[in-house]
């Protein structure tokens, strides 16, 4: 039967994704090597290309996993937060920072990975990023009942990007980033300022 073949191939693919994930955790995205991955997965170098187009596509598979986990933990954070939009947004931002800290190399590879010029990311993987804004949107909507749906979508992305920027530069650890020990309180301060400003602007 052909399902046995497919199952074996799927199992090899899983081993390779596992190995790539472990290598990224140990050596970072830049330290990911095809030979190290295949050695760890216990297969030949060439086998990698029978299961996945590219080493880049293997990274995308790892990133896909990471996004699923990140989405789940963000959803969990919202469910445990108070019912005001302020509480929900604080819980989301804090949980985002916690995830980034706890899974630094995997989280970094979400945003550091680049495809060679010409290629672009498969649509199914682009869609997986939607969760990052979907968890924010309803709470921001409560804060800004004056905004249209379209304006809210944009502002949600902007809000995510603002928090993300603070976490990203802090975890990079150099230049103008906030020191790690101040990150959580600064995130809290940023969200507090944003929610206070949003509430204020709605009054007019």
Partner DNA sequence: GACAAAAATGAACATCGTTCAAAAAAAATT
Partner DNA sequence: AATTTTTTTTGAACGATGTTCATTTTTGTC
Q: Work out whether 162 is an interface residue with a second copy (CB under 8 A).
A: yes
174 binds, among DNA, a second copy, none (CB under 5 to 8 A by kind): a second copy
185 burial level (CB within 10 Å; 0-12, 13-18, 19+): exposed
Question: Which x/- pattern over 107-136 shows residues binding a second copy (rule: CB under 8 A)?
Answer: ----xx-x-xx--xx----x--xx-xx---
CA distance 39 to 16: 10
At residue 115, what are phi and psi to the nearest 5 degrees?
-85, 150
50 binds, among a second copy, DNA, none (CB under 5 to 8 A by kind): DNA
Q: Work out whether 176 is an interface residue with DNA (CB under 7 A).
A: no
Least CB distance to DNA at residue 146 (A): 49
Q: Work out whether 198 is an interface residue with a second copy (CB under 8 A).
A: yes
Of positions 7, 10, 30, 180, contacts a second copy by CB under 8 A = 30
User: Is 106 within 8 Å of 20 (Cβ atoms)?
Assistant: no
Of positions 18, 22, 28, 43, contacts a second copy by CB under 8 A = 28
Of positions 22, 25, 28, 47, contacts DNA by CB under 7 A = 47
Of positions 10, 45, 180, 182, contacts a second copy by CB under 8 A = 182
CA distance 16 to 52: 9
Q: What residue spans of the chain are helical by DSSP H?
A: 2-27, 34-41, 48-51, 55-80, 85-102, 104-112, 123-128, 131-134, 137-143, 149-172, 180-203
106-77-176 Cα angle (round to 5): 50
Question: Which residue ranges make up the site for a second copy (CB under 8 A)?
Answer: 27-28, 30-31, 111-112, 114, 116-117, 120-121, 126, 129-130, 132-133, 154-155, 157-166, 168-170, 172, 174-179, 182, 186-187, 189-190, 192-201
């Amino acid at each position: 039967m052909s399902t046995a073949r497919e199952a074996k191939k799927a199992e090899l693919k899983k081993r390779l994704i596992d190995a790539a994930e472990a290598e990224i955790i140990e050596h970072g995205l830049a330290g990911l090597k095809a030979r190290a991955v295949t050695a760890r997965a216990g297969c030949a170098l060439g086998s990698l290309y029978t299961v996945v187009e590219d080493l880049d596509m293997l990274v995308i598979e790892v990133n896909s996993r990471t996004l699923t986990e990140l989405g789940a933990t963000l959803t969990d954070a919202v469910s445990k937060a108070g019912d005001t939009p302020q509480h929900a947004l604080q819980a989301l931002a804090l949980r985002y920072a916690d995830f980034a800290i706890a899974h630094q190399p995997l989280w970094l590879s979400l945003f550091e990975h680049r495809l060679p010029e010409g290629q672009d990311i498969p649509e199914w993987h682009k869609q997986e990023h939607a969760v990052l804004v979907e968890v924010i949107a309803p709470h921001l909507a409560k804060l800004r009942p004056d905004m249209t749906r379209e304006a809210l979508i944009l502002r949600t992305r902007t809000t995510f990007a603002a928090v993300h920027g603070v976490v990203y530069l802090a975890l990079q650890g150099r230049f103008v980033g906030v020191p790690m020990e101040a990150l959580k309180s600064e995130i809290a301060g940023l969200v507090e300022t944003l929610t206070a400003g949003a509430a204020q602007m709605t009054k007019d």
